[in-house]
A and B are shown apart, each in its own frame.
Chain A
Amino acid sequence: MSEVGFETLRAPQLEGFGNFADVLRDEAFWDSLGFSLRFGTLTAVLEVALGLFLAVFLAPILQRHAWLLAILTLPMMVAPAMMGLMYRLVLHEFVGPVPHYLLAWFGTSPAFLAPGNVFWTVVVIEVLQWTPFTLLLFHLAYGSISGEIREAARMDGAKGWWMFRRVEFPMMLPTFGVALAIRFIDGVRVFDNIYVLTGAGAGGSTMSLPIYIYTSFFRGGNIGAALAASVLFALASFLILALAWRFAQRRPA
């Protein structure tokens, strides 16, 4: 594979595109890229959908009791690595409260970190931690729609779902796009909470691209391959973002 290891870091041989070829030939690279994209897309969509629904549905309460937002956004304060640690405790097969109560009440508890379930477990954890963020964004966007516009729409007979679909949602569309993009970016580069919770297990099934880079750098010692993968990741991110912003720009809000 690569010629760059910790021993040869100071005097590397120029490999040309050999490192890149190695990375592109590595199945684990493609698997981790696939995981990152699936994870980023799914969590972004779920977080945005859930945040939007909650922001609108809870608006009457949140506008009157703004301090409740402090409770709802508390998870954002927790470092993702700590979050992974907490869930490691909470979901622990033998000592975690969640399996404990599931067993006590339903007589059965799924193995959260088993190969078939672990993807959904990390998705749910990520969504639970970051939905408060999208909720906050949509709460602000919803509150900034002018009262007179809502009144005008009421005079025009709009209410409920129609009001939301034709007046409120289109006015929140820029926030919608931004929330989706931010959460997608954050989801694709997911690292610490998964690494702490599952260590890229079970069987590498939660190996995100940053974890792939990290493990090949430190564990495998393939610095060249790791850096090549980072460069590829940066390029891919740039392409996706360029396309996304261009798409966002074409339909002005």
Chain B
Amino acid sequence: MLRLIAGLETATAGRIEIDGRDVTRFEPVDRRLAMVFQSYALYPHMTVRGNMAFALETAGSPRAEIDRRVREAARVLKLEGLLDRRPAQLSGGQRQRVAIGRAIVREPVAFLFDEPLSNLDAALRIETRQEIARLHQQLGATTIYVTHDQVEAMTLADKIVVLKDGRVMQAGAPMELYLEPANEFVAGFLGSPSMNFLDVEVRDVRDGRATVANAGLAPVEVRTRGAQPTPGSRARLGVRPQNLTVLEDVTLPPGAGLLRGTVELSERLGSETVVDVVLPDRSRIVATLSRDAVFLPGQDVTLTFIPEQAHLFVR
């Protein structure tokens, strides 16, 4: 996908437009895009300065201009002291910054990031993610960022496009996708731990609301979105782990969803307790509960959720 936009691969169908210009047949460099590769793809035989200056030298920019832009990029990325080093002498995070610097000096109309953090270790990943967010604010340039990491997607994006097998699943602002996922794939992708899905039977459908139930779930009336389920069919009910509470904790609001099951595993993380529960139909769900919740494996538990926070997906 990103390679199509960049022009490294040729589109077999359709058109690619940038700022209203059809660039489908353009060479990569003529699209005025800059890409940050997963492996950084720095030129190993050039210094940091050489890496950043290469595109400008290729374009035939005057020396003074090249020098000015490289200096500026090095300042923004805090690479000033490293300009004469070679990539082999840099740490992973520094290489990442050089790769970004190489993109910045070209002053492109848009940046393309191809999973730039996947080669970094966990601690560095968070740090670099925040660095990229800061840079993005500072530069204000359009950025297309490809990632498999839902946290990166949620934290960095103004707009997320979820793709599956080359098809757009849903596009919108991060919170919009989180709160109103259009389908099971999007719902399962965003949020951690990921959303629980229950196989339910649709009992009744009426004015955009459906009553659903299964062996472990007492009949509950939930909103339907988009396609209407037919009574008697099977559907999937999605409930986020954070939206589940233990029955004893709250006074039961009218019409709340009720789930009965057996605790299989309870993990106290300090800030919260994550409980794995097995339902009568042998499906598993995860609930994120308050840190004071203490459960023993084998203990029966009843969980509740507010129907408004549940998502019904038609098969």
Contacts and interface: CB of A to CB of B under 8 A. Distances in A.
A152 B35 contact: yes
B45 A171 contact: yes
Nearest to B38: A148
A7 interface: no
Nearest to B6: A155
A166 B55 CA distance: 11
Interface in B16-63: 27-29, 33-35, 37-39, 41-46, 54-55, 57-59
B58 A149 contact: no
A146 interface: yes
Contact of B8 (A151, A167, A170, A173): A151
A153 B46 CA distance: 12
A170 B44 CA distance: 9
Contacts of A171: 43-45
B311 interface: no
B58 A158 contact: yes
Contact of B39 (A148, A156, A157, A173): A148
A14 interface: no
Contacts of B28: 154-155, 157
Interface residues of B, number: 25
Nearest to A158: B58
Interface in A167-201: 167, 170-171, 173
A148 B43 contact: no
Contacts of A162: 58
Contact of A151 (B41, B45, B46, B57): B41
A146 to B, nearest CB: 7
A70 interface: no
Contacts of B43: 149, 152-153, 167, 170-171
A163 B288 CA distance: 55
B54 A158 contact: yes
B41 A149 contact: yes
Interface in B250-309: none
A213 to B, nearest CB: 42
B45 A155 contact: no
A219 to B, nearest CB: 51
Contact of A146 (B29, B34, B39, B54): B39
A253 interface: yes
Residue of A152, A154, A167 with most chain B CB atoms under a 10 A cut-off: A152
A148 B44 CA distance: 12
Contacts of B8: 151, 154-155
Contact of B54 (A148, A151, A156, A253): A156
**Which of A148, A170, A171, A173 has the most B CB atoms < 10 Å from its CB?**
A148
Contacts of B102: 152, 156
B37 A151 contact: yes
Contacts of A154: 8, 27-29
Interface string A100-125: 00000000000000000000000000
A167 B42 CA distance: 11
Nearest to B54: A156
B104 to A, nearest CB: 13
Contacts of A151: 3, 6, 8, 35, 37, 41
A188 to B, nearest CB: 30
Given A146-B41, A171-B43, 11 more contacts: A148-B37, A151-B41, A154-B27, A155-B55, A156-B106, A158-B54, A162-B58, A166-B57, A167-B43, A170-B43, A170-B45
- The 4 A-B residue pairs with the shortest CB-CB distance, nearest first, are A157-B29, A156-B55, A148-B41, A152-B41
Interface of B: 3, 6, 8, 27-29, 33-35, 37-39, 41-46, 54-55, 57-59, 102, 106
